[in-house]
Amino acid sequence: TLTLDQVLASLPPVGVAGSINILKLVPPKLQMLLRDPEKVLLPRGEWPKRLSKAKMFIQPSDWPLLAKELLDRNICKPLPKTELIYHNGEPLLNGISGIGKNKFVKDRHGKDVEVQRLIINLVPSNEIQVDIVADVATLPHFAQWNGVELLDDETFIWASEDISCAFYIFQLPESWLLYFTLDWPVRACDVGMAGEDEFHLAFCSLPMGWKSAVGICQCAIRSFVNRPEYGSAGLPLQAE
């Protein structure tokens, strides 16, 4: 079960999430799919009779606190209950969980707790979609290094680099909010907004847990390193 203190340390700071419109980085065919989620939905007749359930693995008392952070950091946006997707009388809602990062921080009570990477359980949404493959085939296969042979007098040095908050930085079109909606509504006044109305949180940045996220993220990053306007070195794709 997640707590606010565990997740907070792994979230991007304010101003980072959703800072890049993903449509500016992907090719036209992928733009078309990202603008209109219905193009990747299965026909209603192929949806499961009952949508899967995804749990919210967080302390109920911490959920409004985390929800406010997700909204403030532009990771999620509010979605009115009236806009939820229903199938056979049940709403399409997703859950959250966490994976430990083997790093520790002090919580509000001075106790050491493990930092958790926030994971979105999108099984209910994934099961009604087809995959957007995008650039999955260009991902490296690290097992290939097992085939390298060295002579006794040779040394092989290699390095890799990871992009912090790689998924969060990309903003998705708002048409996806309906499909990335989380369970457990919150009241507006409990997350720093005016009013008593309840709404759900929906991911507006690229969510880890989406079946198509990896290939789309890879496509966006490959484009990013080719774009001098984003401060890159303009690496040509043939030099990968």
Residue range 30-53, pLDDT digits in tens: 999 999 999 999 999 999 999 999
3-state secondary structure of 119: strand
Confidence of residue 27 (pLDDT cuts 50, 70, 90): very high
Taking 90 as the threshold, does the pLDDT of residue 102 lie above it? no
> Angle formed by the axes of helices 213-224 and 28-35, to 10°?
140
H helix runs in the chain, sequence order: 4-8, 28-35, 63-72, 123-126, 213-224
Please say whether the beta carbons of 25 and 223 come within 8 A: yes
Query: How many Cβ atoms from other residues are within 10 Å of residue 193's Cβ?
Result: 14
3-state secondary structure of 219: helix
Tokens of 182: 């989380």
Q: Which of 233, 166, 169 is nearest to 204 (CA)?
A: 169
3-state secondary structure of 48: coil
Higher pLDDT, 35 or 166: 35
- Supply the pTM of this predicted model: 0.85
Distance between CA atoms of residues 240 and 220, nearest Å: 15
Taking 90 as the threshold, does the pLDDT of residue 105 lie above it? no
Residue 3 neighbours by CB under 8 Å, 6+ apart: 58, 59, 62, 107, 113
- Among 26-40, 57-71, 142-156, name the one with the lowest average pLDDT: 142-156
- Among 87-101, 193-207, 222-236, name the one with the lowest average pLDDT: 222-236
pLDDT at 158: 73
Q: What is the rounded end-to-end Cα distance, in angstroms, of the chain?
A: 40
Tokens of 175: 């048409």
Taking 70 as the threshold, does the pLDDT of residue 185 lie above it? yes
Taking 90 as the threshold, does the pLDDT of residue 141 lie above it? no
Distance between CA atoms of residues 214 and 218, nearest Å: 6
What would the mean pLDDT of 180-203 be, rounded to a whole number? 95
